[in-house]
Amino acid sequence: MHVPDGFLDLPTSAATGAVAVAGVALALRGARRELDDRTAPMAGLVATFVFAAQMITFPVGAGTSGHLMGGALAAILVGPWTGVLCVSVVLGVQALLMADGGITALGTNITLLALVGVVVGWLVFRALVLVLPKRDAVIPPVAFAAAFVSVPAAAAVFTGLYAVGGTAPVSIGAVLTAMLGVHVLIGIGEGVITALVVASVLKARPDLVYGARHLRPVPTVEEVSA
């Protein structure tokens, strides 16, 4: 869901640009609490994986494709604030280097994929983790649910933005129905990829899954440097 230039008018793009700047600024402050010598390299790995995974567009029904957004994945692996930074860096590189996602739409794309994707994904994840048994086995299915919900949520927010500042006069109801329909399908792919990656990291290095930290004791100095 990379919004190109021209879909939204300039005032709306400027407004989402301001939201994106504010969100990233908050994330830069918040990420100080998440990032240390152990988690900073993980943030680099997660951003790079999200960039790579977004290249894999998978078919979802007739003549349509989708790809990972990565907000929920990044939030679960490195924390929500750092997750916002990871996805924002990916979107910036895509827009500037790969001509994927408009330049005037960069604020819109950061708002949708980095802010909405991370916030919705993280809130669903935390809400489910709080009510479900405190076991590792719960984390991948919960990651699926969080990632799944984040995609239609971003699609709905795009439709809201289009209702305010869309450049072509089309039925907003039709846009909303179509956006939710296709993005529920893409959300399944998002959920599957997110659950598989989170499960793999959880198996290899459970201490590196931010969203599962509550399941294990605070790491010792030896573990931190291992």
By CB under 8 A, residue 59 contacts other proteins? yes
CA quadruple 109, 183, 58, 162: dihedral, nearest 10: -40
Establish if 72 lies at the interface with other proteins (CB under 8 A): no
Question: Does 47 contact other proteins by CB under 8 A?
Answer: yes
**Selected binder of other proteins within 15, 20, 43, 119 (CB under 8 A):** 43
Which range in 52-60, 115-123, 131-139, 212-220 contacts other proteins by CB under 8 A? Answer: 52-60
Work out whether 94 is an interface residue with other proteins (CB under 8 A): yes
Q: Residue 82 or 129: which CB sits closer to other proteins?
A: 82
What is the Cα–Cα distance from 31 to 103, expressed in whole angstroms? Answer: 25
Q: Are 211 and 199 in contact (CB under 8 A)?
A: no
- The answer to whether 79 and 96 are in contact (CB under 8 A) is no
Candidate ranges 14-22, 35-43, 121-129, 210-218; the one touching other proteins (CB under 8 A): 35-43
Which residue in 129, 183, 195, 199 binds other proteins (CB under 8 A)?
183
Spell out a b/e string for 66-77, using b for 16 or more CB atoms within 10 Å of the CB, else e: bbbbbbbbbbbb
